[in-house]
Structure 1
Amino acid sequence: MKSFLSIALLLIAGLAVSIWIGFHTKLSEVTLPFDDDQNGINDQVVIKFSHVVAENTPKGLAAQRFAKLVDEKSNGRIKVEVIPNGGLYSDQEELEALKRGDVQMIAPATTKLRTVSPKFQVLDLPYAMPNHESIIEALNGDIGKTLLRSIEKDNMRGLTFWTNGFKQITTNDGPIKKPSDLKGQTLRIMPSPVLEKQFQLAGAKAVGLDFNETYKLLESGELNGEENTISNIYSKKFFDVQSHLTFSNHGFLGYAVIMNEDFWKKLSKDEREILSESMKETTEWNQTHSFEMNKEQLRLIEKQSGIEINTLTDQERKIWSDQWEPVWKEFEEEIGTELMKKMKQLRAKHGDF
C-alpha cells in the first residue's frame, strides 16, 4: 500500500514538472503585452527646473512651455519637472543648488548673477534700455553673448535670456513723481549694489530681500514699497498692500536660463539638440509674449484694485535718469569699459534722454 502511494506521488510530481516546463517553453515563444507608459522608463532623462515666481508669470509660463516642447520633441524620453514659487529652493539658494547638481536648470533674475560675474550689473543700470526693441537687441546680441560667456564656470552653462519686463515702483507713501519723493522710505530690492546705489541717490533705504517675503513685509508696514514688473506686482498681489504705483520703466527685469554643466555633458547629441531647439522656440515666444502680458496685467490691476497709478512723462523720466547718472560712472570699472560702451551706444540708438 505504501509503495502504491509513493508511486502515485512520484507520478503526480512528474506530471506537474512536465506541465510547468511545457508552459514555460510556450510562454517564452510569445510576446507578452507591455504597458507603453513604462517603455524606456529606465532611460528617461529627468530635468528638475526650479524657479521662484508664480506659474502665471512670463518666466512661469515659459518654463511650462519649454517642458511641453521637450516632452513632445523627445516623445516623452526627456521629462522637465518644473518646480515654481520657490517650492524647492529660495532665490538665494537656487544658484548653489544648480552648481552642486541638486537641480539641473534654473532661471534666476540676471541681477543675482553679479556674484558670479560683475558684468551682469550692466543690465541693472537705470534707464539703460529705453524700449522693448533695445532689450531684445541687448540680450540676443553682443551684450548678451558676452554675459553668458562670463558665467561659463562653477559648473554652469548659460543657455539664453528670458524677459519679464520693465520695473515700476510701488509704495504706501506717495504719489512718487520725482526722486526726492522717495526720501526716507524703505524699499525692497533684489540684492544688488547698483540698485542699492540708485535708491540711495533718491534718499531712500534699499533692502535686498527674498522675493517671496515681500508681500508679508509690505503688509506689516516694515517696508514702505518695492520695485518690480507689473507681472510680478500682479501675480503676488502687491497692489492689495500698496496704495501708489509709479509707472517709471526705470529698469529691466529678465532671467538667464542656466543648466548644470556636468549634466549637459552627459547628454547625447540628440538630447542636446532637442533641448536647444525647444529653448529657441520658447525664448522667441517669451520675448514677445512677456511684454504683452505686462500690458494686460496692468489693465487688470487698474480694474481689480484701487491703487493710484501715476505714469511719468518723458520729461519726468529725464529728471530720474539725470539723478541716477552717477551710478553709471561708479560701476563702469567693475562692469568693464567695453561692455559699458556697448550699453551706452545701445541707449543712445534707441532714444537716450
Structure 2
Amino acid sequence: MYKVISLILFILVYKFSYSETIIRFSHVVSVDSPKGIAVEKFKTELEKISSGRLKVLIYPEGTLFDDIPVIEALKKNIVQMAAPSFSKFSDKIRDFQVFDIPFLFNNIKDIHNFYNSKAISILNRETENFGLKILDFWDNDFKHITCSKRLIKKPEDLKGLKVRTMGSNILNAQFKIVGAMPYTYPFGSLKHILEEGLIDCQENTFNNIYSQKLYNSQKYLTVSSHGYLGYAVVISKKFWESLSGEEKKLIMEALKKTTAYERELAQRKNFTDFFRLSHNSNLYVYKLSEEEKVYWITFFKRHKNLFLNYLSSEMAKEIQEMGLY
C-alpha cells in the first residue's frame, strides 16, 4: 500500500513538474510574411530551450482575432501573446499613435534608436496600466500608397478618394487634411474591399502589397515612405505574472533571437518585394523625386500640432525634446 501511494505521489509530482504551459499566439498576417515567419521561429526556439515545457500554439491570418479585438482578448488572458501593428492599440493606449505621425522617422535606424528612448518607457508604463506587457518590437517597413484611380504625386492628389487606414486618429487625420475620405477596415478584408472597388487607395509596405496581391486591384504605387509600420510583441500581464522567473527568462531568450532574425528578414523581404512589384506586376511604380519628397514632408509638418494633440502631453513633449518633431 505504501509503495502504491508513493508511486502515485511520484507520478503526480512528475506530471506537475513537466506539465506544459500553453501560450496562444494570435496574429492576422500570412504565415510567409516576416511576422508570420518570426512567430514560427519564436515557437521553435522557445519549445527547444524549454524542452517542450513552454508550448506555443499559433493562430495566423486572424483565425481567432483581428488585431483590434485581440488587445482585449490579451487583457483577459484568452490569448497570451500577439504582435499587433502600432495603430491597432490607439483606442486603448493613445501614445502608440506616435508611430503613425507622417515623416516622424527618416529611416530604420531612427526607428531602432526610438525603441531605446525614454518615449518607450512612457509607452511601457501605459501598456502595463492597461493590462499588457511589451516584450519587444518587430519591424515591417515604411509605408507607401497604392491607388486604383490615379497616380499620387503630391498629397493633394488624394483629394476626394476613399482610403483604407488601420484606424488610428492620426492616420485618419493624415488623410482628412488632404481632402481624402479615410475608412477603417481589418487587414484580412483589405484585398476583398479593393477588388470590389469599395476603396480607391491604401497605404502599406512593399511586403504586404506583394504578399496580399493587392497589385491585382490597384494601378499605381507611389514610393512615399511617409509612415512606418511596425509591431509590438505583447503578452497578457495576467499571464506574465503567473509565470516563474525561469519561464520569463526563457521567453525573453527565445524572443531576443527571434527579433534579430525578424528585423533582418523584414528588410530583406521588403527589398525583394519592391523588385517584384516593379518588374512582375501591373503596377505603375512612381518614386518621388527629392524635391517632391521635401514637399510632402513640409506639407504634413504644417499640421504638426494637430498630430501632437492626439498624444499625451508627456509623449508630445518627449518627442519634441528628442528633436524628432
TM over 0.5: yes
**Match of residue 236 from structure 2:** 260
**Match of residue 73 from structure 2:** 97
Change beyond 3 A, Cα 1:347–1:318 = farther
**Match of residue 168 from structure 2:** 192
User: C-alpha distance in 2, partners of 1:192/1:224?
Assistant: 19
Change beyond 3 A, Cα 1:81–1:327 = farther
User: C-alpha distance in 2, partners of 1:227/1:328?
Assistant: 20
Structure 1 segment 215-294 matched on structure 2, within 5 A: 215-294=191-270
Give the conservation status (yes or no) of the 8 Å contact 2:68–2:89: no
Give the match's secondary structure for 1:152: helix
Aligned pair partner of 1:122 in 98, 108, 118: 98
* RMSD, aligned α-carbons: 2.4
Matched, 1:332 2:308: yes
**Match of residue 20 from structure 1:** none
User: C-alpha distance in 2, partners of 1:338/1:255?
Assistant: 22
**Match of residue 19 from structure 2:** 43
Aligned residues: 317
Between 1:185-194 and 1:326-335, the stretch displaced more is 326-335
Between 1:152-161 and 1:70-79, the stretch displaced more is 152-161
Q: Which runs of 5+ in 1 are unaligned?
A: 1-24, 26-37
Give the match's secondary structure for 1:335: coil
Task: Report the alpha carbon displacement of residue 257 of structure 1 after superposing the two structures with TM.
Answer: 1.0
User: C-alpha distance in 2, partners of 1:341/1:324?
Assistant: 19
Give the match's secondary structure for 1:217: helix
Task: Report the alpha carbon displacement of residue 152 of structure 1 after superposing the two structures with TM.
Answer: 0.6
Give the conservation status (yes or no) of the 8 Å contact 1:139–1:145: no
1:125 is matched by which residue type in structure 2? I
1:149 is matched by which residue type in structure 2? R
1:107 is matched by which residue type in structure 2? A
**Match of residue 299 from structure 1:** 275
Give the conservation status (yes or no) of the 8 Å contact 2:90–2:169: no
**Match of residue 155 from structure 1:** 131
Deviations 1:101-152 (A, max 9, x none): 1101111111111222221111110000010100111123322232122111
Matched, 1:65 2:41: yes
TM-score, normalised via structure 2 length: 0.91
User: C-alpha distance in 2, partners of 1:261/1:340?
Assistant: 26
Give the match's secondary structure for 1:310: strand
2:141 is matched by which residue type in structure 1? G
Q: Which runs of 5+ in 2 are unaligned?
A: 4-13
**Match of residue 293 from structure 2:** 317
1:311 is matched by which residue type in structure 2? K
User: C-alpha distance in 1, partners of 2:297/2:28?
Assistant: 30
Task: Report the alpha carbon displacement of residue 82 of structure 1 after superposing the two structures with TM.
Answer: 1.3
Task: Report the alpha carbon displacement of residue 202 of structure 1 after superposing the two structures with TM.
Answer: 1.5
**Match of residue 84 from structure 1:** 60
**Match of residue 186 from structure 2:** 210
Matched, 1:113 2:63: no
TM-score, normalised via structure 1 length: 0.84
Between 1:40-49 and 1:206-215, the stretch displaced more is 40-49
**Match of residue 201 from structure 1:** 177
Give the conservation status (yes or no) of the 8 Å contact 1:119–1:336: yes
Change beyond 3 A, Cα 1:141–1:285 = farther
How many percent identity over aligned positions?
34
Deviations 1:285-337 (A, max 9, x none): 22232122111111122232111100112221111122212442113244134
Change beyond 3 A, Cα 1:58–1:321 = same
Deviations 1:196-216 (A, max 9, x none): 111112221111111111111
Change beyond 3 A, Cα 1:343–1:56 = farther
Give the conservation status (yes or no) of the 8 Å contact 2:27–2:61: yes
1:253 is matched by which residue type in structure 2? L
Deviations 1:164-222 (A, max 9, x none): 11000000122111112111110100111111111112221111111111111111111
**Match of residue 182 from structure 1:** 158
